[in-house]
Amino acid sequence: MSEVLEVARRARTAAAALAPLPRRVKDVALLAMADALVARSAEVLEANALDVEAGRAQGTPASLLDRLALTAARVEAMADGLRHVAGLPDPVGEVVRGSTLPNGLQLRQVRVPLGVVGIVYEARPNVTADAAGLCVKSGNAVLLRGSASAYRSNEVLVRVLSDAATAAGLPEDSVQLVPGTDRSSVQELMQARGLVDVLIPRGGAGLIEAVVTGSQVPVIETGVGNCTVYVDAEADLDMAVAIVVDAKTTRPSVCNAAETLLVHEAVAAELLPRVEKALEGVVLHADARAAEHLTASVPAGDEDWAAEYLSLDLAVGVVDSLEAATDHIRRWGSGHTEAIVTRSQPASQRFVARLDSAAVMVNASTRFTDGAEFGFGAEIGISTQKLHARGPMGLPELTSTTYVVVGDGHVRG
C-alpha cells in the first residue's frame, strides 16, 4: 500500500474512534493544540523561514509570499483561532429536525461527522491549523495536503498539532499530513474512495478544477474570488470610497478582496476621481467610459473582467443601471461575493435578488465574507457550489446527518 493510502487507512481507523467523543474531550484537545503552537512557535517559524527563502529564490510573486509567510503574531492568531473553535457549540448530535409519526415512530435527523476529510490547499500554512481545528471539533479525522512551497512549515505544524491532540486524548492519526510534494500524492488522495469521505480544495482556479474534474472522492468545491463592488446611483459616496479602499487594499492577496468596481453613470464623474486618489498604488484597468474620469489607467479587456488579480490591480467600469451591473457580474463573476453601495432599499433588494453568489453585501466590504467574521470560527473554505455547503464553511458544514428512528416493536407488515 502506498504511503498516501496508508495514512488514509489510519485516518479511517481514527475517525471511527473520534466520532463518538464528547465535546469536552475535543475542546481540551483543541486548547492543548493552541498552547502547543505558541510554545513551539520557534520551530514553526524556523521551518517557515526556509520555505519563504526558497520561494523568494524561485521568484515567487510577493502576493504568494505574503500568504506563505508566518510571523509570531500570525502563529498566535492561529492559536487564538483554535481556542475560539473550542468555545463554539459542538454540531455533532444536534437534532436538525424531529417528529413523532402517525404510527408512533419517533424520528430524529441528527448531525454526524463526515468521517475522513481531505484538504488540498496552496501556500497558506495557517490553513493547516484552521482545518485541523474545525475537523477535530466536528469529529472528523483530517488529511492535510498543502503545497510543496509550504511543506516544511506544514510538516512541523502537523507534528505540533498531532502531538498535542494525541497527548490530550484524541485517537492517534486524527490529524495527519499527506506525504509527498508532487502531484502524484494528490492524485492518490483523489482516488482514495472508500478511505476518504470528502475532499475540499482551497487555492487557485487550476487546483480547484483539477480536483473537481479528477477526483473519485466526493468534492466540496471552493471557488476563486472574482468579487465586485457596485456603486449605485443613490450611493453615499464617502461610504463608497471607504468600502472600495477596504475591499481592494486591506489584503489584496485573499479571495474576498474586490477585483472589479462598477459605477453607475450618474455618480461616475464625481466618484471615480475620488476613488483614484484613495487607491494610490493600485493599477486601474478601466473601460472607455471609466477612463474619461481617471488621470491614469490601462485599458480593460475581457481578461480583466474575468481576473482574480490577487494584487493591487482593479478592473473599473461604468454601467447604465443596476441591471447592467448585475448582468455584468453574472457573466464575469465567480459567484463568491458581491457588494452594493446604496441608500435605496429597493435597489439593494433588486441587487440581492438578481445575483447568484454565495454572499452579497449591502453597504459593507466584500472582505467580510469570512468564517471568523461571520462568527463561525476559522473556516474550512468558502464554497461557491450549491450542494450541501455554500459560503464560509464552519462546523455544521463538516457534518452529514443520520436518521435515528425509535419504535416500540413496530413492523411495517
Rounded Cα distance between 75 and 125, Å, is 10
CA 270 from centre of chain: 36
Global pTM reads: 0.86
Q: H helices of 252-379, where? A: 265-278, 288-291, 302-305, 322-332, 345-354
Looking at domain 227-368, its CATH class is alpha beta
Q: Can you list the residues of the chain whose pLDDT is less than 50? A: none
Rounded Cα distance between 378 and 201, Å, is 16
Rounded Cα distance between 192 and 161, Å, is 24
Specify the amino acid at residue 372.
A
Fold of the CATH domain 3-222+393-406: Aldehyde Dehydrogenase; Chain A, domain 1 (3.40.605)
Q: Which helix (H) or strand (E) holds 47?
A: helix 41-57
Question: Whose CA is closest to 338, among 257, 282, 276, 267?
Answer: 257
Give the per-residue pLDDT at 1: 67
The partner residues of 404 in beta bridges, in order of sequence, read 108
Rounded Cα distance between 24 and 90, Å, is 10
Is the Cα dihedral 285, 291, 295, 298 positive or negative? positive
Residue 130, all three cell numbers: 484552521
Give the per-residue pLDDT at 193: 96
User: Which region holds residue 338: left if phi is over 0, alpha if psi is between -120 and 50, else beta?
Assistant: beta
Q: How many CB atoms lie within 10 A of CB 221?
A: 18
User: Which region holds residue 110: left if phi is over 0, alpha if psi is between -120 and 50, else beta?
Assistant: beta
Domain ranges for the chain: 3-222+393-406, 227-368
Give the per-residue pLDDT at 276: 98
